[in-house]
């Protein structure tokens, strides 16, 4: 979710980041609706299930992109200094969130509560990703040493497959319940290390520049989404959604995320205004991700999202989601202008 080096931006990678951050907003659109409380039946709920699984690739896309971009980073000061802008942005947006809750929602808490919330990443609901990313960031140089010292392509494939079987297969069986009992038949202790799986997938795609013909890729992607949604729909028929493929570690999510990344990462758009917009949203994607917690909360409360039927959720999805994206982008753009102005003023004074 961090910015690509300005010296050589690759539009396809910027586009991956834009789609990922829009999918974060999109999956939250479904979260704020009554989707998880509605009865699973009808074509509208089926379509929403397909959409939900597509949007669920948001975090995996960010993690694959991290592996793609960071696979050459070493144990050196330059790498570790790159975390500073991320932490500063997190701190500023945490303070903005506190102010919104204090003055807009009239929520009174102690100073200790606010400070604790910043340090344990609970002030912003989306900040769990920051907590995870800090750990991954610190491990990246050592993960690269491991990956780069595996010289054989087949052994790298075995590394990824090993992580896949440790992380993804147990995740699915742990969520399948028959007569109230889960089929927890695989050791599931390692499912929490799914960021490493996606990171190494990104490294592998970068090294070998994996390509799938676009038409075939789209067909594979649609087939996977339909199969996943159909199984989910049949499993939950007549009940509330209780997804058997839950979690970013689930193997259908891994497969769909990889296919989507391969579809986008090498695309090029020649239209100049589109290139400028995609690049700028990409640069601001981390801030958009964090600040969207506030904008979507306010907007969806005003628009009574939870009261919409499943059919209307599909109809209004592009309008509401784009409204959140545009509102958040404008707020983040203003934040950037203010911060840049302050930095420029300080440099002038010095």
**Which residue, among 168, 163, 162, has the nearest Cα to 196 in the 3D structure?**
163
Which has more pLDDT, 9 or 128? 128
pLDDT band at 5 (very low <50, low <70, confident <90, very high): very low
Any domain includes 161: yes
111 domain residue, yes or no: yes
* 4-13, 18-27, 198-207, 250-259: range with lowest mean pLDDT: 4-13
Q: Residue 178 — very low, low, confident or very high, per pLDDT cuts 50/70/90?
A: low
Alpha-carbon span 349 to 18, nearest angstrom: 36
**pLDDT tier at 39, thresholds 50, 70, 90:** confident
Can you give the chain as a three-state secondary structure string? Answer: CCCCCHHHCCHHHHHHHHHHHHHHHHHHHHHHCCCCCCCCCCHHHHHHHHHHHHHCCHHHHHHHHHHHHHCCCCCCHHHHHCHHHHHHHHHHHHHHHHHHHHHCCCCCCCHHHHHHHHHCCCCCHHHHHHHHHHHHHHHHHHHHHHHHCCCCHHHHHHHHHHHHHHHHHHHHHCCCEECCEECCCCCCHHHHHHHHHHHHHHHHHHHHCCCCCHHHHHHHHHHHHHHHHHHHHHHCCCCCCCCCCCCCCCHHHHHHHHHHHHHHCCCCCCCHHHHHHHHHHHHCHHHHHHHHHHHHHHHHHHCCHHHCCHHHHHHHHHHHHHHHHHHHHHHHHHHHHHHHHHHHHHHHHC
Distance CA 221, CA 215 (A): 10
Q: What is the average pLDDT score of the chain? A: 90
Query: Given pLDDT bands bounded at 50, 70 and 90, which one contains residue 177?
Result: low
Check whether 120 has a pLDDT greater than 60.
yes
Tell whether 208 is covered by a domain: yes
- pTM for this entry: 0.93
Q: Does pLDDT of 4 surpass 50?
A: no
pLDDT score of 50 = 94
What band does 3 get if pLDDT is binned at 50, 70 and 90? very low
| Tens-digit pLDDT profile for residues 156-166 | 999 999 999 99
pLDDT digit string (tens) for 226-242? 999 998 888 877 776 76
Residue 173 clears pLDDT 90, i.e. is over it: no
Rounded to 10 deg, the angle between the 43-55 and 11-32 helix axes is 140
Q: Kindly state whether residue 301 falls inside one of the protein's structural domains.
A: yes
Residue 335 lies in a domain: yes
In a domain, 1, yes or no: no
Give the per-residue pLDDT at 8: 67
Give the total number of structural domains in the chain: 1
Tell me which residue of 68, 120, 66 sits closest to 286, measured CA to CA: 66
* Residue-number span of the structural domain to which 58 is assigned: 6-349
Evaluate whether residue 207 is within a structural domain. yes
* Residue 241, domain member (yes or no): yes
Please state which of the ranges 47-51, 135-139, 235-239 shows the lowest mean pLDDT: 235-239
State phi, psi for 130 to the nearest 5 degrees. Answer: -65, -45
- Nearest-5° angle of CA 313, CA 315, CA 319? 95
pLDDT digits (tens, 9 = 90+) for 275-322: 999 999 999 999 999 999 999 999 999 998 988 899 999 999 999 999
């Amino acid at each position: 979710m961090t910015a690509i080096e300005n010296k050589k931006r690759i539009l396809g990678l910027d586009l991956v980041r834009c789609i990922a951050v829009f999918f974060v907003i999109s999956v939250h659109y479904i979260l704020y609706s009554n989707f998880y409380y509605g009865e699973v039946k009808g074509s509208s709920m089926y379509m929403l299930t397909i959409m939900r699984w597509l949007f669920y690739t948001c975090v995996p896309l960010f993690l694959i992109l991290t592996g793609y971009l960071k696979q050459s980073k070493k144990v050196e000061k330059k790498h570790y200094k790159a975390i500073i802008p991320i932490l500063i942005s997190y701190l500023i947006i945490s303070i903005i969130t506190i102010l919104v809750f204090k003055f807009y929602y009239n929520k009174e808490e102690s100073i200790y509560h606010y400070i604790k919330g910043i340090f344990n990443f609970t002030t912003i609901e989306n900040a769990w990703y920051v907590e995870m990313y800090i750990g991954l960031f610190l491990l990246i140089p050592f993960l690269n040493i491991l990956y780069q010292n595996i010289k054989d392509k087949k052994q790298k494939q075995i590394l990824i497959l090993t992580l896949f079987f440790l992380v993804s297969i147990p995740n699915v069986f742990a969520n399948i319940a028959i007569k109230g009992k889960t089929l927890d038949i695989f050791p599931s202790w390692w499912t929490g290390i799914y960021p490493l799986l996606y990171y190494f997938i990104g490294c592998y795609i970068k090294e070998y520049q994996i390509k799938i013909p676009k038409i075939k890729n789209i067909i594979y992607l649609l087939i996977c989404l339909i199969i996943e949604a159909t199984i989910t729909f049949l499993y939950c028929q007549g009940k509330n959604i209780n997804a058997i493929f839950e979690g970013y570690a689930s193997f259908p999510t891994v497969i769909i995320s990889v296919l989507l990344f391969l579809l986008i990462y090498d695309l090029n758009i020649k239209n100049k205004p589109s290139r400028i917009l995609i690049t700028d949203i990409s640069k601001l994607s981390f801030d958009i991700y964090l600040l969207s917690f506030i904008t979507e909360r306010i907007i969806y409360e005003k628009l009574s999202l939870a009261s919409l039927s499943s059919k209307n959720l599909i109809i209004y999805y592009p309008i509401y989601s784009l409204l959140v994206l545009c509102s958040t982008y404008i707020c983040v753009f203003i934040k950037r202008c203010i911060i840049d102005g302050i930095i420029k003023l300080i440099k002038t004074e010095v």
